[in-house]
Amino acid sequence: MEGFDGHPGTAKLAAVLSQRMKRENESPLVLDFGEIQANGSLVTNTFPIPIPKGDYSVCRSLTIGEAGKKLAETDKLGKHEHKGGQHEGHTDGDGAHTHEGGSHSHTVLVPEKMRSLKAGDRVLVAWVQNEAVVVDMIVKS
């Protein structure tokens, strides 16, 4: 059997490529919505059977910790200013002040919008082959 260019095998290669493209076009949904259940399992819109915690993956940014818990500690040497909000020993006005010399630090807390997943969270799920991967939380606009 010869292909359209006169080379045997060209038709066979074209058939293989055609079959692969057809399979790709028939592939299942890649993105999905889901919800984290009370026991930590995941239920998605297209796969309503709970996927147990540990049997699906979560992007690292969704594992930071609980809102209000310590995320990091900053360190600053020498002169600098703080603007906005109250600060230990400086509660008047907008909180702006300057430190001279010595080390100075602040505790940075996990904000609500960056917290780890919890029960009831709506999530965006990417299906990677047969594995569900929670990409991010979905919030109202």
Cβ atoms of residues 46 and 35 within 8 Å: no
Q: Is 38 exposed, middle or buried (0-12, 13-18, 19+ CB in 10 A)?
A: exposed
Q: If we measure between CA atoms, which residue out of 29, 45, 47 comes closest to residue 126?
A: 29
Task: Kindly report which listed range (17-21, 89-93, 104-108, 125-129) carries the lowest average pLDDT score.
Answer: 89-93
Residues 10-43 have pLDDT tens digits of 777 777 777 766 765 666 669 999 999 999 999 9
